Amino acid sequence: MTQPPPMQRSRSQLATAYAPNSLFTFEGGLGACMALSASGNRTADLHTVTRELIGEQIREYFEAWARRAMRGLNLRHPVPPALAVDSRVLSEGTVRVPIGDLAFQVPDTVGYVPFPLAFTCARCGLHRECRRLERAAEEVARFRQACPSGIVSCADDWQQIDVVLAHWSGEVESLSPSYRYWSTQNGEVRDISRCSSCDSERFYLRRPPGPLAGWHFECASPSCRSIRSILQRDLRTLELLGPLTDQNQAIFAEINMEPVSYRASAAYYVHGDRLLVFNQDQYLALLGGGQTTRLEGFLGSQYGYPVLQMTDAEKEALLRAASRGAEWDDYIGMRDLLGMLTNGGTAASEPMITSARASLARSEEEWNRTVFAGRQQSSPGIAAACHARPLFVRRFDPIRMAVEHETLAQEKLHGGQLSDGKDVSVDVTILDAFTLPDGLTEAETSLLRDQVRQRRDLLGVAEMRLVRDVQLCEYTFAYTRTSSSPTVMREKAGDAEMPVRLRLFDRVEVGDSSRHPVLCLLQSNEGLYVRLDEETVLEWLNANAVPLAPAAAGVRLGGRLIEEFTELESDPTARFSRFLDEYRREHGTARRAYPFVYTLLHTMAHHLIGVSASMSGLDLGSFGEHIFAPDLAFLIYRRGMTMDLGNLSSMWRDRGSPDFGNEVLNRMVDPVSLRCGSESVCNHRGGACPDCVLIPETACLTRNELLSRSVLVGRGAPRWDDRDTRLVGYYEVAQRRVRGAAGRTSSAA
């Protein structure tokens, strides 16, 4: 067969709506086609580490899909792996997706062929179909020869049928009066194509108004007119389950295809993912094999675990080697002073003693994070997490989040400039000439910054930055039909969960080999980075009686969250699986810190997305998010392949005012911003619905799971929380802390 003709659309369209094996029509709605993989696309310019990360994510996606699809609830038989995932990723029943089998491509073109090749006469309804695509023109020319009224009087007006037969195995076929059955006697699949009453091979397609279930075929023989329902059985599923039907272990509801319009979303669901793209792999390399010891040291230094006992001489040597000997001299002087005050001081010396101890503690904590990094004692919890992380879902892996956050901090948050001279990121309490409103006096600028800082504190935020260069790779690699989730239920199958088969895009020629295309969209857009105040988060957890495991002095909350995550993964009611089934059950999960912190960050990210969408001209679906749970941070960003016109920086500049700082933060502080038009219904669902914090599932990191307004403003609890008590909202705690600090300042004055 010759190569199909290429078609050009925008890259985002070719990676999604027109991705391989999708069904579409050209402008005007005439001429249905199926998209095919194209060999002419160029290779995407990706770093090796990015390719490896994408390969890992795809493999994990298939593994998680297979586990869920093969669950087979209420089926009479085990689910064959080949009905859960593409057989091309299976090796002896195990999912394997070698990175060498993948071609990372920029979606510039896609091929297409006419589909379905089934037609009906516009006058009489006679059904005709083409058997071979390459001979379609010849076969269509002969359609009129089958006309019951004769060739001469045939209207010769043929319409492509706009309905196809689809199955959750991923197969799609044209409507046909021919149907398959399992021959028990021969142990094989057989076809019946002729009328069982008169042996005619011609049928009319009758399409009465109403549901597709009313469509049927009618024998074209005037003396017969037998009725045949639109019935077809999926070939692959019939081959695997046909023998089980003889033993009453499988039912035909699992095998029958169903009619669906090729315009309907159920005809095709594309699957993909996205990840942040970094230029450095200094920290990301720690996630590779054989790096466990270094990874433990990195996490220990990041989250304040105590260092190994070192002598003063060892500490001094390390500090002087780092050109920080003066700090050691000051430290020794302060320590000697503390000794004198402690041994011979009076009650009046207590403030000085307290101040000296605090100064020494600050120095030790800072050295532990920097100069002494990697010399931490091996915490059993951190060591267990590092060894168990191959079992973690990468999207929810807190260790990966910690490494990515440090890489983000080094590349985007801590200095650096773009080619146009703008800073890569800017703190919203400082801003620069490109983010400050025009025409402000120095006094007005100072007032604006003070107002921003006040509202930032009222939200419990420690740091918020505008990031001008968020690099992202979105990619698609597979598809399903009839359902976008791993299982599907149908009324005729009762309460049985049938497997939906995840299928790779068909191979393309790359050099001398054929590979499965991964369609990559590389983007660079603006984003907003937010990091919460750790003391406020701790107080919020305590206010809601969320238990935290004890930890050594100085260990940050992030380290304790990583340790807890490892424990959660052994709890079937609280683990973070790929599709978060554990958090779909009402009142089924005990209060634990990690799920609560994740829900807090995720909900606040959606809150910021909602406010930003209303003020920037971007729609909700054009945003993305990334969570860094151990660092109590998140990043929201614009998603899009069109030119970034500075929507977020323009929004921040245009919404700034000395009266209230910035309208974005002012709106978030306002409790009305989290009121919901479906208040009572929303509260019953756990405080998350399309009227408030939900966004399109394609934009959300978790498909809108682990969300609840209650974590921000109270008035309820997440639906998975097993306690029947109202939460204290994070904003309530933050505002109480601000009022308390203001009261102490006033008293001191």
3-state class (DSSP) for residue 379: coil
Question: Is the per-residue pLDDT at 65 higher than 60?
Answer: yes
In this structure, the number of other CB atoms found within 10 A of the CB of residue 532 comes to 25
Q: Rounded distance, CA 602 to CA 610, Å?
A: 12
* pLDDT value of position 305: 86
Helix intervals (H) in 125-228: 136-141
CA distance 253 to 494: 9
User: pLDDT tens, 556-589?
Assistant: 999 999 999 999 999 999 999 988 989 988 988 9
Rounded to whole angstroms, how far apart are CA atoms 119 and 147? 13
Tens digit of each residue's pLDDT (9 = 90 or more) over 319-344: 888 899 999 999 898 888 888 877 76
- Radius of gyration in angstroms for the set of CA atoms belonging to the chain, rounded to a whole number: 32
Token couple for 24: 């579409």
pLDDT band of 749, cuts 50, 70, 90: low
What is the dihedral angle through the alpha carbons of 373, 375, 379, 384, rounded to the nearest 10 degrees? 80
| Angstrom distance (rounded) from CA 111 to CA 100 | 23
Q: Tokens 């403030």 label which residue?
A: 351
Least confident of 233-237, 311-315, 507-511, 529-533: 311-315
Residue 29 predicted with pLDDT over 80 = no
Angle at 582 between CA 580 and CA 588, to 5 degrees: 145
pLDDT band at 370 (very low <50, low <70, confident <90, very high): confident
The tens digit of pLDDT for each residue in 238-278 reads: 999 999 999 999 999 999 999 999 989 999 999 999 999 99
Tell me: the pLDDT tens digits for 140-168? 999 999 998 888 889 989 999 999 999 99
- Phi, psi torsion values for 81, nearest 5 degrees: -55, -35
Q: Return all residues near 543 (Cβ < 8 A) that are at least 6 apart.
A: 728, 733
Average pLDDT, the chain: 91
Residue 84 makes CB contacts below 8 A (sequence gap 6+) with: 65, 66, 69, 70, 486, 499, 501, 502
Q: Hey, is 191 helix, strand or coil?
A: strand
Alpha-carbon distances of 189 from 128, 184, 250, 607, rounded to whole Å: 23, 9, 16, 55
* 747, pLDDT greater than 70: no
Percent of the residues in the chain that have a pLDDT greater than 90, as a whole number: 67
CB 246 within 8 A of CB 92: no
Q: What secondary structure does DSSP assign to 446-493, as a single string? A: HHHHHHHHHHHHHTTEEEEEEEEEEEEEEEEEEEESS-SSSEE--GGG
HSE-CB of 356 using CA atoms within 13 angstroms:
18
The yes-or-no verdict on residue 188 having pLDDT over 60 is yes
Alpha helices in 221-279 (DSSP H): 235-246
Burial 126-146 (b: 16+ CB within 10 A, else e): bbbbbeeeeeeeebbeebbee
Q: How confident is the model at residue 1 (pLDDT cuts 50, 70, 90)?
A: very low
Contact 137, 117 (CB under 8 A): no
Q: Are 23 and 115 in contact (CB under 8 A)?
A: yes
CB 421 within 8 A of CB 434: no
Higher per-residue confidence, 304 vs 636: 636
Each residue of 442-461: pLDDT tens digit? 999 999 999 999 999 999 99
d(CA 586, CA 577): 17
Helix (H, G, I), strand (E, B), or coil: what is residue 649?
A: helix
The one-character DSSP state at 254 is: G
Q: Which of 171, 40, 156 is nearest to 116 (CA)?
A: 171
Q: What is the DSSP letter of 412?
A: I
DSSP letter at 417? B
* Model pLDDT for residues 693-745, shown as the tens digit of each residue: 999 988 999 999 999 999 999 989 999 999 979 999 999 999 999 998 877 76
**Dist CA 480 CA 477 (whole Å):** 11
Q: Torsions phi, psi of 651, nearest 5?
A: -60, -45
Distance (Å, rounded) from C-alpha 182 to C-alpha 250?
12
CB contact set of 496 (below 8 Å; sequence gap of 6+): 73, 74, 75, 253, 254, 489
What does the buried/exposed string (b/e) look like for 551-585 if buried means 16 or more CB atoms within 10 Å of the residue's CB?
beeebbbbbbbbbbbbbbbeeeebbbebbbebbee
| SS3 readout for 36-89 | ECCCCCCECCCCHHHHHHHHHHHHHHHHHHHHHHCCCCCCCCCCCHHHCECHHH
For residue 19, give the amino acid letter.
A
> What kind and span of H or E run contains 385?
helix 380-388
Segment 699-712, tens digit of pLDDT: 999 999 999 999 99
Instruction: Spell out the domain ranges in the chain.
Output: 299-382, 398-478+522-748
Of the pLDDT bands very low, low, confident and very high (cuts 50, 70, 90), residue 286 is: confident
What pLDDT score does 354 carry? Answer: 80
Label residue 345 by pLDDT band (50, 70, 90): low
Please report which confidence band the pLDDT of residue 746 belongs to, taking 50, 70 and 90 as the band edges. low
Mean pLDDT of 24-52: 87
Dihedral angle at the C-alpha atoms of 207, 209, 212, 216, nearest 10 degrees? Answer: -30
Model confidence at 71, in pLDDT bands (50, 70, 90)?
very high
Q: Give the 3-state secondary structure of residue 335.
A: helix
In sequence order, what E strands does 184-224 have? 188-192, 203-206, 216-219
Q: Buried (b) or exposed (e) across 680-695, using 16+ Cβ within 10 A?
A: eebbeebbbbeebbbb
Kindly state the average pLDDT of the residues 349-374: 78
Answer whether 119's CB lies under 8 Å from 176's CB. no
Q: E strands, 489-630, where?
A: 498-499, 503-504, 508-510, 513-532, 623-628
Q: Say which range, 304-318, 517-531, 621-635, 637-651, has the weakest mean pLDDT.
A: 304-318
Q: Is the pLDDT of residue 378 over 80?
A: no
How long, in residues, is the chain?
749
Average confidence (pLDDT) over 528-541: 98
Q: Where are the alpha helices (DSSP H) in 171-251?
A: 235-246
Question: Tokens 């973690």 belong to which residue?
Answer: 392
Q: Is the pLDDT of residue 347 over 70?
A: no
Q: What is the mean pLDDT of residues 338-353?
A: 73
